[in-house]
Structure 1
Amino acid sequence: MAKTKAVNTKIYVLDTNILLHEPFAFLSFKENDVVVPMTVLEELDYIKDSKKDVARDARISIRAMEDVLHDATPDQLTAGVSLKGLGSGEAAPIGHFSIFSDHGMPKAQQVFTSNENDNRIINAALHIQQRATPRQVVLVTKDINMRLKAKGAGLAHVEDYRTDQLISDIKYLSRGYHKFEGNFWDKVKSVESRTEGRETVHSIDRKVFPEAYINEFLIDDSKQFAAIVEGMTESTLEILDLGYERLMSGKAWGIHPKNIGQAMALHALLDPYIDLIIMTGPAGCGKTLLALAAALEMVVERKMYDKIIVTRNTPEIAESIGFLPGTEEEKMAPWLAAITDSLEVLHKNDENVKGSMSYIMEKANIQFKSVNFMRGRSIQNAIVILDESQNLTASQLKTIITRCGEGTKLICTGNLAQIDSNYLSPVTSGLTYLVEKFKNFTGSATINLDGVVRSRLAEFAEEHL
Structure 2
Amino acid sequence: MIEEKIIYILDTNILLHEPFAFLSFQEHDVVVPMTVLEELDSIKDRRKDVSRDARVAIRALEDTLAQASPEEVLAGVKLPQTDELHPSGCLSIFNDYTLEQTSGTLSFNENDNRIINTALHIQAVKSSKRVVLVTKDINMRLKAKGAGLAHVEDYRTDQLIDDIRFLTKGYHKFDGDFWEKIKSCESETEGRNTTHFVDREIVPVTYINEYLIDESESFAGKVTGWDEEKLAILDIGRDRLMSKNAWGIQPKNIYQGMALDALLDPNIDLVILTGPAGCGKTLLALASALEQVIERGLYDKVIVTRSTPEIAESIGFLPGTEEEKMAPWLAAITDSLEVLHKQDENMNSSLNYIMDKANIQFKSVNFMRGRSIQNALVLLDECQNLTASQLKTIITRCGEGTKLVCSGNLAQIDSNYLTAVTSGLTYIVERFKSFPGSTTINLNGVVRSRLASFAEENL
- TM class, shorter-length: over 0.9
Q: Is the 8 A contact 2:311 2:364 kept in 1?
A: no
TM alignment of 1:36-435, pairs within 5 A = 36-85=32-81, 87-90=82-85, 94-108=88-102, 111-316=105-310, 319-435=313-429
Verify: 1:21 aligned to 2:17, yes or no: yes
1 CA distance for matches of 2:310 and 2:12? Answer: 18
Change (3 A) 1:455 1:238: same
Q: Is the 8 A contact 1:7 1:134 kept in 2?
A: no
Name whichever of 310-319 and 201-210 sits farther off: 310-319
Q: Is the 8 A contact 1:28 1:93 kept in 2?
A: no
Deviation at 1:315, TM superposition (A): 2.9
Deviation at 1:296, TM superposition (A): 0.4
2 CA distance for matches of 1:89 and 1:232? Answer: 34
Name whichever of 53-62 and 386-395 sits farther off: 53-62
| SS in structure 2 at match of 1:462 | helix
Q: Is the 8 A contact 1:280 1:287 kept in 2?
A: yes
Percentage identity across paired residues of the two chains: 72
1 CA distance for matches of 2:159 and 2:141? Answer: 18
Which residue identity is paired with 1:160? D
Aligned to 2:27: 31
Deviation at 1:64, TM superposition (A): 1.0
Which of 423, 434, 453 is the matching residue for 1:440? 434
Deviation at 1:7, TM superposition (A): 7.7
2 CA distance for matches of 1:379 and 1:93? Answer: 41
1 CA distance for matches of 2:161 and 2:205? Answer: 15
Q: Is the 8 A contact 1:332 1:370 kept in 2?
A: yes
Which of 7, 12, 15 is the matching residue for 2:8? 12
Deviation at 1:261, TM superposition (A): 0.7
2 CA distance for matches of 1:316 and 1:70? Answer: 36
Deviation at 1:147, TM superposition (A): 1.4
Q: Deviations over 1:262-319 (max 9, x none)?
A: 1000000000000000001111110000000000000000111111000112433773
Change (3 A) 1:260 1:89: farther
Deviation at 1:112, TM superposition (A): 0.4
| Backbone CA RMSD of aligned residues | 1.5
| SS in structure 2 at match of 1:107 | coil
Q: Is the 8 A contact 1:83 1:93 kept in 2?
A: no
TM-score (norm 2): 0.97
Deviation at 1:320, TM superposition (A): 2.8
Question: What 5-or-longer segments of structure 1 have no aligned partner?
Answer: 1-5
Q: Deviations over 1:107-160 (max 9, x none)?
A: 227610242111111110011111112111111111222112111211111111
TM-score (norm 1): 0.96
Which residue identity is paired with 2:290? L
Deviation at 1:379, TM superposition (A): 0.6
Deviation at 1:222, TM superposition (A): 0.9
Q: Deviations over 1:414-448 (max 9, x none)?
A: 11111111111111111110100000000000011
Deviation at 1:191, TM superposition (A): 1.3
Q: Deviations over 1:377-412 (max 9, x none)?
A: 111111000011111111111111111000000000
Deviation at 1:187, TM superposition (A): 1.8
1 CA distance for matches of 2:6 and 2:376? Answer: 49
Which residue identity is paired with 1:37? P
2 CA distance for matches of 1:207 and 1:36? Answer: 50
Aligned to 1:3: none
1 CA distance for matches of 2:101 and 2:46? Answer: 31
Change (3 A) 1:365 1:30: same
Change (3 A) 1:440 1:335: same
Q: Is the 8 A contact 1:112 1:123 kept in 2?
A: yes
Q: Deviations over 1:85-111 (max 9, x none)?
A: 3x2454x66111111111111222761
| SS in structure 2 at match of 1:396 | helix
Name whichever of 252-261 and 51-60 sits farther off: 51-60
Deviation at 1:171, TM superposition (A): 1.2
Deviation at 1:75, TM superposition (A): 0.6
Q: Is the 8 A contact 1:226 1:242 kept in 2?
A: yes
Paired residues in the alignment total 458
Q: Deviations over 1:237-258 (max 9, x none)?
A: 1111111111111110000000
| SS in structure 2 at match of 1:219 | strand
Question: What 5-or-longer segments of structure 2 have no aligned partner?
Answer: none
Q: Is the 8 A contact 1:16 1:44 kept in 2?
A: yes
Which residue identity is paired with 2:228? E
Name whichever of 360-369 and 178-187 sits farther off: 178-187
2 CA distance for matches of 1:151 and 1:328? Answer: 46
Q: Deviations over 1:201-260 (max 9, x none)?
A: 011111111110011111111111111111122222111111111111111000000011
Q: Is the 8 A contact 1:110 1:123 kept in 2?
A: no
